C-alpha cells in the first residue's frame, strides 16, 4: 500500500537579517557574510541616507513630511545590483558618495523617524526581497518589522567607545581624514538615542534574534561566529 506522495516544497528564499546600532560593523559583516554564503546584500541604511540627501539637496522643507515623502517616492530609490556592493541610485544616479557626507549623517535619524518615509522604505525592501530572495539585509528594523519571518536574525552591539574607535579608523583609511573618536562617540550616542526612542519601529533586539556583543571580537571572529550560526540553522547554504 502506498502512502501519500510527499513533495518537498522548494526553498524559495533565505533571508538573514542583521540589526543593531550605528558603528557595530553591520555593513561590512553583512557584505562578507553574503559573499561567503553566495547571497545578495541589502544596506537599508543607504536608503534612509539617500532620502536625507534628497531632502537636503532639493531644499524640501524639513518639517513637511508629505513633501518629503513625495520627493523620496519621486526619486525611485533602487539599487544597481550589477555592482558589488550594489550602488544606491536616486533618479538613476549614484548616491554612494553623497550619502556619507556629514550633513546627511546629521539629518538621517530625523528622516528615519518619519512614519510615511518608513512605510515607503519597508514596502521597497520587501519588494527587493521578492526580486532577490537570497538576501542578507542589514539595518535597524529588518528582523523586527520588515522581515519578521527571516530565517536567521542577528542583533549586533558593541560599547560606544569601541564603535567610535572603529569608525574613526575606517574614516582614516577611506578618506585619509583624522576624526576625534570622542566627538564620534557623542554623534553615535545621539543617533542611537533618536533611533531607539522613536515611536515607529524603534531600534530594538527582536526576541528571536541571536544577540552578539562584538566589543571584544575582531572582524574575523564576528564573521566566523555569524557564519557558524547561519550554517547550523541553514546547512544547505554551506553546500
Ligand atoms: O546604518 P546607517 O548608519 O547607514 O543608518 C543610517 C540611519 O538610518 C540610522 O540613523 C538609522 C536609520 N535606519 C533605520 O532607521 N532603519 C533601517 N532599517 C536602516 C537605517
Q: Is ligand 1 within 6 A of the CB of residue 147? A: no
Q: Is ligand 1 within 6 A of the CB of residue 49? A: yes
Residues with Cβ within 8 Å of residue 163, at least 6 apart in sequence: 21, 22, 23, 24, 185, 188
More confident residue, 71 or 180: 71
pLDDT of residue 11: 52
Give the pLDDT mean for 15-36. 96
Place of cell 525611485: 76
Residues with Cβ within 8 Å of residue 30, at least 6 apart in sequence: 18, 41, 43, 136, 137, 138
- Cα pseudo-dihedral 95, 99, 103, 108, rounded to 10: 120
Distance in Å, CA 177 to ligand 1 centroid: 23
User: pLDDT-based confidence at 169, cuts 50/70/90?
Assistant: confident
Query: Would you kindly state where each structural domain of the chain is located, as residue ranges?
Result: 14-230
d(C-alpha 170, C-alpha 162), whole Å: 12
Exposed / middle / buried, residue 165 (Cβ in 10 Å: 0-12, 13-18, 19+): middle
Q: Is ligand 1 within 6 A of the CB of residue 45? A: yes
Supply the mean pLDDT for the chain. 93
d(C-alpha 104, C-alpha 107), whole Å: 5
pLDDT above 90 (res 120): yes
Q: Which CATH number fits domain 14-230: 3.40.640.10, 3.40.50.300, 1.25.40.420, 1.10.730.10?
A: 3.40.50.300
User: pLDDT-based confidence at 179, cuts 50/70/90?
Assistant: confident
d(C-alpha 72, C-alpha 48), whole Å: 10
Give the pLDDT mean for 208-234. 97
pLDDT of residue 173: 85
Q: Is ligand 1 within 6 A of the CB of residue 109? A: yes
Residue 21, helix vs strand vs coil: coil
Residue nearest to atom 11 of ligand 1 (CA): 109
Counting residues of the chain whose pLDDT is more than 90, the rounded percentage is 84
Ligand 1 pocket test: pick from 109, 114, 139 the residue with the most ligand atoms within 8 Å of its Cβ: 139
Amino acid at each position: 500500500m502506498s502512502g501519500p506522495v510527499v513533495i518537498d516544497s522548494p526553498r524559495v528564499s533565505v533571508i538573514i537579517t542583521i540589526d543593531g546600532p550605528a558603528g557595530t560593523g553591520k555593513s561590512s559583516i553583512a557584505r562578507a557574510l553574503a559573499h561567503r554564503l553566495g547571497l545578495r546584500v541589502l544596506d537599508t541604511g543607504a536608503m534612509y541616507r539617500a532620502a536625507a540627501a534628497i531632502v537636503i539637496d532639493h531644499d524640501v522643507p524639513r518639517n513637511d513630511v508629505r513633501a518629503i515623502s513625495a520627493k523620496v517616492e519621486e526619486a525611485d530609490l533602487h539599487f544597481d545590483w550589477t555592482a558589488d556592493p550594489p550602488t544606491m541610485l536616486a533618479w538613476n544616479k549614484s548616491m554612494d558618495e553623497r550619502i556619507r557626507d556629514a550633513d546627511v549623517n546629521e539629518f538621517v535619524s530625523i528622516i528615519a523617524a518619519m512614519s510615511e518615509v518608513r512605510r515607503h522604505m519597508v514596502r521597497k525592501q520587501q519588494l527587493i526581497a521578492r526580486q532577490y530572495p537570497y538576501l542578507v539585509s542589514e539595518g535597524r528594523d529588518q528582523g523586527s518589522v520588515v522581515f519578521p519571518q527571516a530565517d536567521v536574525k542577528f542583533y549586533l552591539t558593541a560599547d560606544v567607545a569601541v564603535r567610535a574607535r572603529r569608525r574613526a579608523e575606517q574614516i582614516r583609511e577611506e578618506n585619509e581624514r583624522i576624526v576625534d573618536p570622542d566627538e564620534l562617540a557623542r554623534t553615535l550616542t545621539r543617533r542611537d538615542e533618536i533611533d531607539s526612542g522613536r515611536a515607529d519601529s524603534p531600534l530594538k533586539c527582536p526576541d528571536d534574534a541571536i544577540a552578539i556583543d562584538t566589543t571584544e571580537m575582531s572582524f574575523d571572529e564576528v564573521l566566523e561566529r555569524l557564519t557558524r550560526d547561519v550554517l547550523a540553522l541553514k546547512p544547505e547554504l554551506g553546500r
